[in-house]
Amino acid sequence: MDLVWSKAIKIKVHSIIWNNTLIKIDMKREIFLMIVLGFSQITTGQKKEIPHLEKLNGTVQLIVNNEPFTMLSGELHNSSTGSEHYMQPIWNRMAEKKLNTVIAPISWELIEPEEGKFDFSIVDSAVEGARKEGLKLVLIWFGSWKNGKSTYIPGWVKTDTKRFPLVKDKERGTMAILSTLGVNSLKSDAKAFSALMQHIKQIDSQEHTVVMIQVQNEIGTLDYRASYGMPNIYMRDFSDVANKKFNGPVPNELIDYLTKNKSKLHPALEKAWGDNGYLKKGNWEELFGPGKQYSGDDWKNNFSYYTEELFMAWHYAKYVGEVAKQGKDEYALPMYVNAWMKQPNGREPGQYPSGGPLPQVFDIWRAAAPSIDFFAPDIYEVEIFDWVSEEFSTSGNPLMIPETKSNPASSARAFYALGKYDAIGYAPFGIDGNGILNTTSPNDESLKTAYASLENILPIISKYRGTEKMTGLFIDSSKEKDEVVMGEYVISLKRNSFAEAQGLLGVDIENKNEKEEEAAGFLIIQLAENEFLVAGGIGSSILTISKSNNDSPTQAGYLSVDEVSYSNGEMRTHRLNGDETAFGGPVVKKGESKIFKMKMYTY
């Protein structure tokens, strides 16, 4: 009941519906009624706040309907929301997979097929479908850009390149990418996005099925061919307008930001600006030096064509920041931008989208787009998972992974991402299958298995997020063992090769060298000095807790190991103190995930 005191006092109430029963009221009892109404307001809850981000323990939580919410998610294929009939059966499948949130695209071309004429049937269908299954939604605005290109813009935008100008590469070839400097493009994109947000407000401001918005997708100038040895001519927009801006003054707004935040800037930005004398006036090359190609091995810490990337970041951030701002003016859901990562086979801007929100240009994005709440990495190159997660979970940015591989190793990594990096959301891509790229195998139950364990302990995870009491461990064929010291104990995760070799676990050891088969991940929470809650698995693995100090005269043993499970939300424990821990700790067989409570004692 959302009736507030002031309203209760103003109206003369002669009857009310209470628990579906009509109750006639004697006016003498009016005062009594007001007390009851006021009381019910207190007991039946506060008003559900709009989904928002809140700082807690130095990190960020997503709050949905006044409670912390962690997104156990997956992203649909790009075109899965391309029609109502196609998307209808998807929601039930997603709920069966134990997702609590689906990341789903909404394309500009479908909501505004004719200029100024909006059709939100796709949005309504997505919200209804998700709601029916108890799912939350993150909607991706496929507006001006998706993977750098402008493929989801309406036909009336695509075909009017005068009004909606395109990027030119260095050789003056026209690219199918809207230029960030197209004033009309920004106006039209922002108008459509505002209409979308207004519509979401209309249909969802009570229930909050839509909890967040991704604004555009993997933006930046690039050509896919550039990754494969073609000359890089895509590091920035070389249209006439862009050339003029590049050779014109760096905006004061950016210089002010750099000056104010000088001690906190990304080292590469601080160096580029410092090497050129911390100038407060001048064009992009005068302030940051001419961009050069870097061809050495330390590609993570050196930046090819950095000045071009800074320039593009500024213009993308200005554009996307304005689109997000106008959308938030209608309905202020949390909004983020995702990034295609710099990676071994795409080390230069133009080989990955130039100007997207990568760590080396976070400062530029923060200066230009304060309406964007955070930046999110798409991590397909899992070899750089730790590096990327580190970079995206520092300087106040919460980690959310809206896209990653979809396979058993990735499912195991969900435990690790939540535990080690306090991720607020995790989402393998192509979760609904049937796509061209990164399709989930229909027989792969691993994500469902992982999320089925995680869903039960989300309140505990939220409580420990941002504290040193929660972390994660991960192993695969490149890492035999992972361990962490917590208080007096060292917690180790290993492959259970002994038991496997003995055939004790009944697993197929033929696949031993398959990296994906070998991955296992765990989330570890230290509940008390001598008590741990651990959750994880998928690859065959064993989790051991022992004394961290080898010289200690005493040893640590398991006072008890309990497998934890849930039945209709009720927690149950099952004691395992015999053969089940005989290999050094509880074992998880291939394909499984488990939760254990482990209590320690010293002897």
- Residues lying near ligand DGJ in the complex (CB under 6 A): 78, 147, 217-218, 378, 403, 429, 437-438
The nearest distance, CB 417 to ligand DGJ, in angstroms, is: 18
The 3-state DSSP class for residue 346 equals strand
Cβ proximity to ligand DGJ: between 147 and 304 the closer is: 147
Write the CA distances from 91 to 97, 124, 209, integer angstroms: 10, 13, 13
Query: What's the min distance (Å) between Cβ of 88 and ligand DGJ?
Result: 22
Indicate the residue among 154 and 356 with the shorter CB distance to ligand DGJ.
Answer: 356
- Least distance to ligand DGJ from the beta carbon of 140, Å? 8
Q: What string of H, E and C letters represents the secondary structure of 25-59?
A: CCHHHHHHHHHHHHHHHHHCCCCCCCCEEEEECCE
Instruction: Tell me whether residue 17 or residue 437 sits nearer to ligand DGJ (CB atom).
Output: 437
Compute the least distance from the CB of residue 394 to ligand DGJ, in Å. 23
Q: Residue 516 CB, nearest distance to ligand DGJ (Å)?
A: 17
Cα torsion angle, 255, 265, 300, 180, sign:
negative
Q: Minimum Å distance from CB 403 to ligand DGJ?
A: 6
**In which region does residue 380 sit, left (phi positive, over 0), alpha (psi from -120 to 50) or beta (all else)?**
alpha
Pick 209 or 217: Cβ nearer ligand DGJ: 217
Count other C-beta atoms under 10 Å from residue 447's C-beta. Answer: 27
Rank residues 403 and 422 by Cβ distance to ligand DGJ and give the closer one: 403
Quote the CA–CA distance of 592 and 590 in Å, as a whole number.
6
Taking CB atoms, the residue at the shortest distance from ligand DGJ is 437
Nearer to ligand DGJ, 403 or 518 (CB): 403
Task: Provide DSSP, 445-502.
Answer: -HHHHHHHHHHHHHHHHHHHTTSTTEEEEEEBTTBSEEEEEETTEEEEEEE-HHHHHT
Instruction: Closer to ligand DGJ by CB, 77 or 199: give it.
Output: 77
Q: Measured from the CB of residue 147, what is the shortest distance to ligand DGJ in angstroms? A: 5
Residue number with CB closer to ligand DGJ (152 or 193): 152
Q: Closest separation between CB of residue 485 and ligand DGJ, Å? A: 37
| DSSP letter string, 522-583 | EEEEEEETTEEEEEEESSSEEEEEEES-TT-SS-EEEEEEEEEEEETTEEEEEE--SGGGTT
Give the amino acid at 175.
Answer: M
Question: Left if phi > 0, otherwise alpha if psi is -120 to 50, otherwise beta: which for 56?
Answer: beta
Residue type, 301: N
